[in-house]
């Protein structure tokens, strides 16, 4: 929280990140090809977008927006992650990402209840937040990547490396997908959700898998 309580603390954080090459020997050994960090949209990014856009353009920072097409799957992930923050299902520790099938199975055992009354408005709100972010950062050097494309199309990572001006490398991840398979297996009140979204613009979210 202290790194994003106001624009001054945000800029201080950015300066620490983007001055790394000056303070470490990695750049002298040609070890660092790119420096960056993950920044969620709800972590002060949109509230202070004008100053951040100015900083990005001044320092030549490139932004990669990682979105999910299936916002219902995103909602399940968010609810499950929020639950585990308090339940700590893995040996009393909270984990947002796991590296084994056993850990993934343990976390996916929790089935959230989705508020079907506000479901459509909640999905619209997530959509609008993403659109707002792209509008705010339109003048920066940026690209959009979808989670589903990274999972199903490994050449998508080449596009990211090209965007960052990096040499092509085979990139791998140790992370294991937690909610794998039909969404109906991971939502407690699936019938309510199915009934709410059927016949709407979000109906495709009910069946999409990868």
DSSP states of 30-43? T--S-------III
Is the same domain home to 83 and 172?
A: yes
Structural contact between residues 155 and 77, judged by C-beta atoms closer than 8 angstroms? no
Band the pLDDT of 208: cuts 50, 70, 90: low
Is the same domain home to 78 and 140?
A: yes
- pLDDT value for 97: 83
Total number of domains constituting the chain: 2
Range of the structural domain that residue 29 is part of:
1-61
Beta-carbon contacts of residue 105 (< 8 Å; ≥ 6 apart): none
- Of 46, 61, 76, the residue that ends a domain is 61
Q: Which helix (H) or strand (E) holds 128?
A: helix 119-136
Total-model pTM: 0.86
Is the same domain home to 53 and 70?
A: no
Is the same domain home to 135 and 172?
A: yes
State mean pLDDT over 168-185.
87
Look-up: residue for tokens 């219902």? 72
Residue 160 has pLDDT above 90, yes or no: yes
Residue 27 has pLDDT above 70, yes or no: no
Is the same domain home to 49 and 110?
A: no
Is the same domain home to 86 and 23?
A: no
Is the same domain home to 39 and 103?
A: no
Structural contact between residues 89 and 107, judged by C-beta atoms closer than 8 angstroms? yes
Give the separation between CA 147 and CA 78, rounded to whole angstroms: 15
Give the separation between CA 94 and CA 56, rounded to whole angstroms: 33
Band the pLDDT of 50: cuts 50, 70, 90: very high
- Of 34, 61, 88, the residue that ends a domain is 61
Band the pLDDT of 153: cuts 50, 70, 90: confident
Is the same domain home to 81 and 121?
A: yes
Beta-carbon contacts of residue 177 (< 8 Å; ≥ 6 apart): 104, 151
State mean pLDDT over 125-148.
97
Is the same domain home to 189 and 109?
A: yes
How many Cβ atoms sit within 10 Å of the Cβ of residue 33? 13
Structural contact between residues 200 and 120, judged by C-beta atoms closer than 8 angstroms? yes
- pLDDT value for 30: 57
Give the separation between CA 188 and CA 174, rounded to whole angstroms: 29
């Amino acid at each position: 929280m202290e790194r994003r309580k106001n624009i001054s603390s945000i800029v201080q954080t950015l300066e620490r990140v983007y001055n790394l090459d000056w303070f470490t020997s990695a750049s002298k050994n040609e070890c660092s090809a790119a420096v960056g960090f993950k920044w969620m949209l709800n972590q002060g990014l949109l509230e202070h977008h004008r100053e951040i856009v100015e900083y990005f353009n001044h320092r030549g920072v490139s932004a990669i927006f990682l979105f999910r097409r299936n916002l219902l799957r995103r909602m399940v992930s968010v609810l499950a992650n929020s639950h585990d923050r308090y339940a700590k299902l893995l040996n009393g520790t909270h984990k947002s990402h796991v590296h084994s099938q056993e850990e993934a199975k343990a976390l996916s055992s929790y089935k959230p209840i989705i508020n079907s009354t506000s479901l459509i408005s909640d999905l619209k709100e997530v959509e609008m937040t993403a659109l707002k972010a792209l509008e705010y950062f339109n003048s920066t050097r940026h690209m959009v990547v979808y989670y589903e494309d990274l999972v199903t199309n490994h050449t998508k990572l080449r596009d990211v490396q090209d965007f960052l001006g990096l040499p092509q490398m085979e990139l791998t991840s140790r992370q294991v997908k937690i909610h794998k398979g039909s969404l109906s297996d991971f939502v407690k009140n699936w019938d309510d959700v199915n009934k709410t979204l059927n016949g709407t613009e979000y109906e495709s979210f009910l069946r999409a898998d990868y």
